């Protein structure tokens, strides 16, 4: 019995990610824990099955750049006690804290019709934009945090502008903020290069990432220490969700107010 074409992306994604997982398993430099590797494998299969090589490519760029940025100034951050756990190796909580919003957007786009019409103002294109904006937001957050901890000269609490130590929840720095903008732009440009979003949606992803990253800092400064259940992973999910919602809201607003289709 021939295999339906609808299943081909899922079968290819299964094979590709199994091969990559096997390579990662024997590689001497571990970017993922064993459990993290399994969850990343599942994420990769879902991403290829729903958004194909375009969506997968954007996710891969996020993962590779985010992992590299985490290792910037590692010795300095470890000495200060503010480095990521496991020398930056990602576990399941990191995988889904970073990519749950993107995964839901990808599944939503797939459910309502795939990505054949990403250049028109449709539910599919909005969900694909949410996918890209959520990853722009997360890479922006990662770059801002890691560069700020490693190279921030003056670090302030976002709510009071009181000088604080690098790594403090809710802390921001000029160096980190600029790095965050670069990270957001990098994902948006890759997504545009593979034709997931339009050129006019690039700045919207950057704006959404900037808003979401700063709101996350506010949450860190005001709420995270008060509630034990408000973990870094949950805050990351909230952060990426805000980024996706802001980007989608900007497109809807532009369409409604100016009659312009991006």
pLDDT digits (tens, 9 = 90+) for 14-53: 999 999 999 988 887 777 888 989 999 999 999 999 999 9
Please write the tens of the pLDDT for every residue from 148-170. Answer: 888 878 888 998 888 888 878 88
> CB of 98 within 8 A of CB of 66?
yes
Question: Any idea what the Cα angle at residue 180 is, between residues 176 and 186, rounded to 5°?
Answer: 145
Please write the tens of the pLDDT for every residue from 106-122. Answer: 999 998 875 444 444 48
Q: How confident is the model at residue 76, as a pLDDT? A: 67
Please write the tens of the pLDDT for every residue from 219-245. Answer: 988 988 888 888 889 999 999 999 999
pLDDT at 5 over 90: no
Return the percentage of the chain with pLDDT > 70, whole number: 87
pLDDT confidence tier of residue 128, bands split at 50, 70 and 90: very high
* Residue ranges covered by each domain of the chain: 5-258
pLDDT at 84 over 80: no
Predicted model pTM: 0.89
- Reference 100, options 238, 205, 214, 199; nearest CA is 238
> CB of 96 within 8 A of CB of 215?
no
pLDDT at 145 over 50: yes
Q: Nearest 5°: phi and psi at 98?
A: -85, -35
- Lowest mean pLDDT: which of 27-41, 74-88, 133-147? 74-88
- Mean pLDDT in the chain? 87
Pairwise pLDDT comparison (86 vs 214), residue with the higher score: 214
Q: How confident is the model at residue 226, as a pLDDT? A: 86
Q: How confident is the model at residue 137, as a pLDDT? A: 98
Return the percentage of the chain with pLDDT > 90, whole number: 55
> For 173-193, what is the mean pLDDT?
96
Contacts of 228 (CB under 8 A, 6+ apart): none
Q: How confident is the model at residue 95, as a pLDDT? A: 92
> CB of 188 within 8 A of CB of 208?
no
Query: Dmax over Cα atoms in the chain, in whole Å?
Result: 68
- Reference 190, options 3, 54, 78; nearest CA is 54
- Lowest mean pLDDT: which of 34-38, 77-81, 94-98? 77-81
> CB of 205 within 8 A of CB of 191?
yes
């Amino acid at each position: 019995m021939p295999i339906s074409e609808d299943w081909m992306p899922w079968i290819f994604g299964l094979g590709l990610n199994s091969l990559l997982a096997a390579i990662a398993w024997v590689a001497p430099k571990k970017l993922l824990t064993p459990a993290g590797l399994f969850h990343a494998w599942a994420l990769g299969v879902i991403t290829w099955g729903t958004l194909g090589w375009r969506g997968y490519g954007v996710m891969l760029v996020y993962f590779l750049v985010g992992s590299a940025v985490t290792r910037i100034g590692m010795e300095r951050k470890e000495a200060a006690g503010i480095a990521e756990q496991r020398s930056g190796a990602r576990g399941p909580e990191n995988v889904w804290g970073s990519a749950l919003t993107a995964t839901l957007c990808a599944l939503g786009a797939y459910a309502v019709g795939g990505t054949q019409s990403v250049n028109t103002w449709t539910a599919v294109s909005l969900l694909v934009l949410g996918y890209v904006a959520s990853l722009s937001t997360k890479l922006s957050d990662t770059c801002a945090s890691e560069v700020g901890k490693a190279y921030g000269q003056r670090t302030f609490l976002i709510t009071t502008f009181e000088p604080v130590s690098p790594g403090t929840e809710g802390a921001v720095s000029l160096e980190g903020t600029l790095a965050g903008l670069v990270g957001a732009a990098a994902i948006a440009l890759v997504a545009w290069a593979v034709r997931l979003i339009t050129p006019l949606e690039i700045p919207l992803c950057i704006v959404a990432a900037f808003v979401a990253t700063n709101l996350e800092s506010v949450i860190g400064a005001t709420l995270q220490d008060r509630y034990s259940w408000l973990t870094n992973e949950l805050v990351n999910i909230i952060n990426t969700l805000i980024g996706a919602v802001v980007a989608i809201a900007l497109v809807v607003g532009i369409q409604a107010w100016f009659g312009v289709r991006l």
